[in-house]
Amino acid sequence: MYYNKVEICGVNTSKLKVLTDEEKSALLARIKEGDEEARTELINGNLRLVLSIVQRFSGRKECMDDLFQVGCIGLVKAVDNFNTDLDVKFSTYAVPMIIGEIRRYLRDNNAIRISRSVRDLAYRALQAREELISQKESEPTVEEIAARLGEKRDAVLHAMEAIVEPISLYEPVFNDNGDSLYLMDQLSDTSSGDEVWLENICLNEAMKHLGEREKKIINLRFYKNKTQMEIAEEIGLSQAQVSRLEKGALEKIRKQL
């Protein structure tokens, strides 16, 4: 999705202003002195940043207008809380603020509701985890986090799992020249075997129209239940190439069927 393809109500996204680092620094200095016009100009000059972040959530079928507005709230918070004394770019500080605001909105408006007590325990657990990491300089176990909080291990584990955002099987994890590799492509199904495919008598005939490499990939992928990564390592190709060949082979089979 490109900037000029995103439709935000009341905003011509193709004409959003982009500020240089020098302009941002100058505006931040004026804001520090209480200049409200500079604050407004800095916010307007970073709306494209909000737009680029909102695009990451486009696959969720959420209202883009709502996400954009929520992202703008995160941007305003970033502008109002940015410390100019630190040697950090404004965008470096603003991006997690904007993402955090959008994620909070998505979490609070999720159809799967999490009780406040569970959510509070999860946040306490995350805080305890950060404290233990700073002390031990290593990842703490759930038992250690639970002991620090004085809570039961299972309760802490349940709370931390409850706030983990579900990931779609169609979430793209890699892209190569327009060919996307999805999460489902990295998963194998061990619950079914050869009989699932062999039940279709026409399949054997359709397979005859495939090249040797395509046949091998289909065999390993669906008969042997191997992931695309495993197949790539076995036949000496990249995972993206395996994905492309697999899709082409399936399309040939569909035409024959």
pLDDT of 77 = 92
pTM score of the predicted model:
0.44
CB 100 within 8 A of CB 56: no
What torsion, rounded to 10 degrees, do the Cα atoms 21, 26, 28, 31 define?
Answer: -160
What average pLDDT score do residues 89-96 get? 87
Percentage of the chain beyond pLDDT 90 is 12
What average pLDDT score do residues 197-224 get? 74
**DSSP state for residue 88 in the 8-state scheme:** -
Q: Return left, alpha or beta for 48; rule: phi > 0 is left, psi -120 to 50 is alpha, else beta.
A: alpha
Burial (Cβ within 10 Å: 0-12, 13-18, ≥19) of residue 159:
buried
Confidence tier at 40 by pLDDT (50, 70, 90)? very high
- The DSSP annotation for 43-71 comes to HHTTHHHHHHHHGGGGGG---HHHHHHHH
- Whether residue 235 has pLDDT greater than 70: yes
256 vs 139: CA distance, rounded Å: 53
